Amino acid sequence: MTNWERDFISAHRVARLATVDVKGQPHVIPIVYAFDGNLLYTPLDAKPKRVGVHQLQRVRNIQANPQVAVIIDDYSEDWTNLAWVQIRGTATLVEDGAAHSTGVALLTAKYPQYHNMPLNERPIIVITVERVASWRAND
């Protein structure tokens, strides 16, 4: 991973997480995340959801196939400013332990909303980065 890719990932506030179900059907959703240079953390926070956290499509998909992709991008009408970083890796759901504590700390530091919506009792998806691809128009 290049320094530019690491900085790009760390600086952005939203990404899209892609998972696939047992039949190979894709599922993509926007996520907030934190990145420690090796692992990417995304919470299953207390924002309203239609089902319990363990029944969310992304969770069921990760349980069936932990291979995921995350895309972080910059769009501009000035196409000389376009850029993206794609992360491919393996996702796990953590509810306690060191990875959970690290994720909670990083997410709370990055998003002030989590001071009023604590993540301590919430599961977090942890993605181990296995491959990074990127592109930017100004290269």
Cα separation, 37 vs 80, in Å, equals 27
Residue 97 φ/ψ region, left for φ over 0, alpha for ψ in the -120 to 50 degree band, beta for the rest: left
Percentage above 90 pLDDT, the chain: 88
* Coil, strand or helix at 39: strand
Q: Closest by alpha carbon to 137, among 88, 75, 86?
A: 75
Sign of the C-alpha dihedral computed for residues 105, 106, 112 and 114 taken in this order? negative
Span 74-89, average pLDDT = 96
The pTM of this model reads 0.94
- Residue-wise pLDDT tens digits, 96-127: 999 999 999 999 999 999 999 889 999 999 99
Selection from 21, 18, 22, 20 nearest residue 31 by Cα? 18
On whether the 3-136 domain is CATH 2.30.110.10, my answer is: yes
pLDDT tens per residue across span 12-23: 999 999 999 999
Shortest CA distance to 17 belongs to which of 94, 82, 104, 88? 88
